[in-house]
A and B are shown apart, each in its own frame.
Chain A
Amino acid sequence: MNELIKKLVEAYGPSGFEDGMRDLIRPEIEAYADEISVDALGNLIAVKKGSGGGLKVMIAAHMDEIGVMVTHITQDGFLRFTNIGGVLPHNLMGSRVQFANGVIGVISSDRLEDRSKIHPLTKFFIDVGASSPDDCPVGVGDAAGFIRPFLAQGKRLTAKAMDDRIGCVVAIETLKRLKTTPHDVYFAFTVQEEVGVRGAMTAANHLDPDVGIALDVTLTGDVPEARPMAISLGQGAAIKVKDSGMIAHAGLVRLMKQRAEAAQISYQLEVLDGGSTDARSMQIANGGTAAGCISIPCRYVHSQSETVDADDVESCIKLLVEILANPINL
């Protein structure tokens, strides 16, 4: 599975520019899906037909990652940029980014007058080795993603874009392992989550599922001086109860707990103070959807070293398989 994770996390796919991600995921699922389609916004949707008597279930994992977009090229050929999604300025110094055309840039900033303060994003720039706008290989409006090699050290897996390629991996593995299900399951690999859960909104409008389950990373409270949060790496799949954009369907949370306990899958309950997932979009689509989220605990979210635990990933896959293989009675 590390091979698949490496392939997905190292690929380019800032929000709005997920074409390459679709090309990578499609061959992984083709043999296991009954139908594959791409909708108007670019969501990749794989259907596994049920044996009958079940519900219409939508699983959402987003393909996009945070990134940057060029806003200005200076007279000296440096690029000023804006954020695509939640880019944190203090994670930027010395980072490398790559554009769709392969050009790689190094990020630095204007001189810091006061080292105890971080510059705002507008004071950072990208150096692609150009010396003027004329010899600059990229232009205003071009998007770039961060680059950083995948690292597997024991159970700990570290990469950029673990958010949410690891969710995509959970979806792919679930689809592979799910032998039979009573439900029609729609695995949606969504676009534009990082800029406001946009892709899942149109996918859910279109699919109109009975139940929606998002697969995404969540924060942890297990590092020094962390904001208090009862989620730790290695303690199992996180069953979301609430985040700042959604209160999970209580019946769905209960069912997730029951399935985890019955199959002896380790889990923890998640209450997230800041942030939301595709589950929010699914919950309020059309006339409403019973929505929840299985989260993969992740340290250093929105940095280039997002870190998850391989056992947690396995727990998430097992839990989702258990949920989908059995009746969903809400």
Chain B
Amino acid sequence: MNELLKNLTEAVGVSSNEKEVRLLIRDLIANYVDEWHVDALGNLLALKKGTGASPLRVLVDAHMDEVGLMITDIDSNGTLKFEGVGGFNDRTLLGKVVQVGPKKITGVIGARPVHLLEANQRNSVVKIDAMRIDIGAKNKDAASGKVKVGEFAAFVTEYEELGVTAVGKAFDDRAGCAALVELLRARPYPFDLYASFSVQEEVGLRGAEVAAYGINPDVALVLECTPAYDLPNENDVSSNVALGKGPSIYVMDRVTIQDPRLVGHITRTAVANGIPFQIRQPGGGGTNTAVIQRTRGGIPAATIAVPGRHAHTPTMIINLEDYANVIKLAEATLRSLTPDVIKRN
């Protein structure tokens, strides 16, 4: 059992409420870094000093936050109204168990049972504002004693390993956080390595923007968990990425064209080290690379991601070999990173 993945994914950290995850990571890395601090937005920033062989300052980022819910009102019948924090498809929410507020009160996102549905209701999607969380409170007063408006709710999914795959919540992006913890635990790099465990990615890449501004590195690498969509087999189309085919390397998404020099360096490193990789299908999505790349005078940046099925639902599945290979590829990429890689004509 990978205890690091278990502990990180089971911790709760909906965007802007990442403290539990931050404290956990802080304790995991404290003995392996030279300095750490928490910035104004809550990013956990750490410095692992290099051997002095290279003048570069390199940032590796992974976001701590996960998608979740915020309680917006308590109905007279004691059920909780809520909104999504981060991107959701409403269909994925009904019938799911959640943990509400700092006391982690168990609740269920209620659904009218199938027996009681009209024929037309069976074919329509219930909208998020019509849903309620049921915490078993008999009325508003009883519920108010347990939960306050403005508190967060997170999914409840225990980490489990099924052979080479792992099931759990929040692999996006605790898998990236776990990989970054492993990179910090390795021997020193030729250069000073800055780590940002960033906040508020799921609500618009907000934490990494200030983290990168504060650190102002020469190069940045973002570790992510990217949606795999490899189950339906439509007529001759590519999966976005597929589980088990190795680390996915971004080239272009909706908000970023990755630095071609770094993409080249990463793919060459993979080939040289016999690490499998896949090019993530160019198109939609976006990562912290977007804001890091465009911080200050610009920072060459690229993204390596663990493929994960069922992203932004309560349960994701990753392949543990992909995860191990992301760590291997990221470490090899860093150890062979020289100023020449980002030299311009």
Chain A contacts to B: CB under 8 angstroms: 15-17, 19, 22-23, 38-43, 69-72, 74-75, 80, 82, 84, 139-141, 143, 192, 195-196, 198-199, 201-203, 205-206
Contacts and interface: CB of A to CB of B under 8 A. Distances in A.
A263 to B, nearest CB: 35
Interface of A is mostly: mixed
Contact of B283 (A19, A39, A71): A71
Interface string B310-345: 000000000000000000000000000000001011
B86 interface: no
Given A38-B344, A72-B237, A202-B294, 5 more contacts: A39-B297, A40-B342, A74-B236, A140-B251, A201-B294
B237 A80 contact: yes
B279 A196 contact: no
Interface stretch (B43-51, B95-103, B177-185, B252-260): B252-260
Nearest to A286: B296
A41 B296 contact: no
Interface in B249-304: 251-252, 255, 257, 260, 263, 279, 281-283, 293-300
Nearest to B250: A141
Contacts of B236: 72, 74-75
A36 B107 CA distance: 62
Contacts of B251: 69, 140-141
Contact of B252 (A69, A74, A75): A69
A40 B282 contact: no
Contact of A72 (B260, B281, B345): B281
B282 A41 contact: no
B345 A19 contact: yes
B238 interface: yes
A141 B283 contact: no
Contacts of A39: 297-298
Contacts of A205: 295-298
Contacts of A80: 237-238
B260 to A, nearest CB: 6
16 contacts: A16-B252, A39-B298, A41-B298, A41-B300, A75-B236, A80-B237, A84-B252, A140-B238, A141-B282, A195-B257, A198-B293, A199-B298, A201-B294, A203-B298, A205-B295, A206-B297
A82 B283 contact: yes
B282 A69 contact: yes
Contacts of B300: 40-41
Contacts of B252: 16, 69, 82, 84, 141, 143
Closest 7 CB pairs of A and B: A206-B297, A16-B257, A202-B298, A141-B251, A40-B298, A41-B298, A72-B238
Contacts of A16: 252, 257, 260
A71 B297 contact: no
Contact of A40 (B257, B281, B283, B299): B299
A204 to B, nearest CB: 9
A93 to B, nearest CB: 21
Contacts of A41: 293-294, 298, 300
A43 B294 CA distance: 12
B297 to A, nearest CB: 3
B341 to A, nearest CB: 13
Interface string B202-224: 00000000000000000000000
B297 A40 contact: yes
A319 B257 CA distance: 34
A17 B294 contact: no
A195 to B, nearest CB: 6
B281 A71 contact: yes
Given A72-B281, A74-B236, A141-B252, A17 B260 contact: yes
Contacts of A141: 251-252, 263, 279, 282
Nearest to A14: B257
B257 A42 contact: no
A101 B144 CA distance: 65
A13 to B, nearest CB: 12
Interface string B75-88: 00000000000000
B281 A22 contact: no
B282 A82 contact: yes
